[in-house]
Amino acid sequence: MTKKLLIMCGTGVATSTVVTGKMKTWLKENGLEDKVALHQSKISDELNRIDDYDIIVSTTIVPDDIRDKVIDGVPLLTGMGLDEMYDRIEEKINQ
């Protein structure tokens, strides 16, 4: 079954585009691209649709009520904490 993975940032343009590119590369390198449908958006468009996604990666601050559903995507920008972040995403893909 394909998991729906949302990548979101503040505006849905620059940062999420960079993160989406890195995520596509990682998925391909790990043989996971067929298990995930990638979606890219801005947080304001997705707050009411969070439950539509299996995995959410965000590079922006999210409201407290959805924080437990969201994986911090900032490591994709800083390079720090990447392994832990990818481990969390892979775990959710394989659930």
Q: Domain of 65?
A: 3-93
Q: What is the mean pLDDT of residues 64-85?
A: 93
Share of the chain above pLDDT 90, in %: 79
Q: How many domains are contained in the chain?
A: 1
Condensed to tens digits (0 to 9), the pLDDT of residues 29-58 reads 999 999 999 999 999 999 899 999 999 999
Listed residue (62, 91, 58, 87) closest to 74, CA to CA? 58
What per-residue confidence (pLDDT) applies to 11? 86
CB 36 within 8 Å of CB 93: yes
N- to C-terminal Cα distance for the chain? 10
CATH number for the domain including 70? 3.40.50.2300
What per-residue confidence (pLDDT) applies to 46? 92
